[in-house]
Amino acid sequence: MIIAEGDTGFIFGGKINDGFYAIKRLRPTSDSHLPLLELRYGVKFLSQLHHPNSISLLGCCDEKEEMIHVYECANNGSLYDNLHAENHDPIPWKRRLEICISVARALHYLHTGAKFVLIHRDVSSKNILLDDQWTSKLCNFSFCKRGPHSMSRDPISTEIESDIAYTSASIAPEVAITGRVSHKTDVFSFGVVLFEVLCCRRIFDAELEMDQRFLYRWACKCIENGTIYSIIDPYLKGKIAPQCLKKFLEIAYSCVQFEENKRPTMGEVEVTLELALKLQKQAESEMESTNPQETAFVASRTPMPSIFTIQIEAVTTNFHPDMIIGHETYGEPIYRGLIDDGTLLVAV
């Protein structure tokens, strides 16, 4: 009774004491015992976690060269399947936001809520499960790494032995370059998930043009050019409040910055996504009260570019005095800069 195929083995559905559970069974291959070692790590970390948005490990069996895990069952499958499988209905925008917020809470807990900092290392839509109430459950802790004590001021980073945890489409630059992971590595991968949720596109597609193959890179370029609305999920067009979309794009864009110190913490991500959801609900409430017949938010024919602080700092050379071209009425300087790949001169 196979209900899914995970990255490290088959997942079966089974009934125990009138309850339905997910049962993961895995045996080592003839040339490697690595899968069993990964699952043993998963047991070690999951047994220490207690969070409503983290999958619950209910029991395990480790004998005769075989490892079996028993988890709570998430009846609605993975976020990946719900976004990309043809037999699934589109997920409403507010539900997508709620799913993202729940995963952000789980990651925030891993980074700050346990005795030691835990780095998931494999954040992806395939490792986000949804139960029958559409509550998200972060799963697959087989590649999790322990950082310093959560109350320590030591850098939250650790060296890794290999790159097996990440697919190249969601890998943070520092992992590929130095083999080092930190809590900001999880932030980067979560940012990739945010773009996947918004655009309903796979995070890597070899059939697209070279500059569009990696979704997060393409989305960032569209944000910088003010054309992001053209690549979001067609199902969502007209259903996202402009201020909500702006806030969502700001946090997704900041999550996938090349430099770790320019990425937010998961706590900041969580708060920003909650604000985005609040803005969406407020906009829908105002629309219903003023225009009961209105069913969609109107996007301008040419969407106004979303310009973020990090971009402004870049185009003004971090507000260098040589870039000043004038002053406001009250003395505030006006800077010049070039955006749209250096083709548009603007005043900042």
How many CB atoms are located within 10 Å of the residue 66 CB?
12
**Which listed residue (122, 132, 163, 233) is catalytic?**
122
Is residue 167 within 8 Å of 126, Cβ to Cβ? no
Order of strands, sheet of 19-26, starting from the edge strand that comes earlier in the sequence: 2-6, 9-16, 19-26, 66-72, 57-63
**What does the angle CA 320 – CA 325 – CA 331 come to, to the nearest 5 degrees?**
85
- Partners of 5 in the β-ladder: 10
Backbone angles phi, psi at 338, to 5 degrees: -120, 125
User: b/e map of 18-35 (b: 16 or more CB within 10 Å)?
Assistant: eeebbbbebeeeeeeeeb
- From the list 325, 320, 244, the residue with the least C-alpha distance to 286 is 244
- From the list 112, 42, 127, the residue with the least C-alpha distance to 270 is 112
Residue 89 bears catalytic tag? no
Backbone conformation region of residue 303, classed left if phi is above 0, alpha if psi is from -120 to 50, else beta: beta
Residues designated as active site: 122
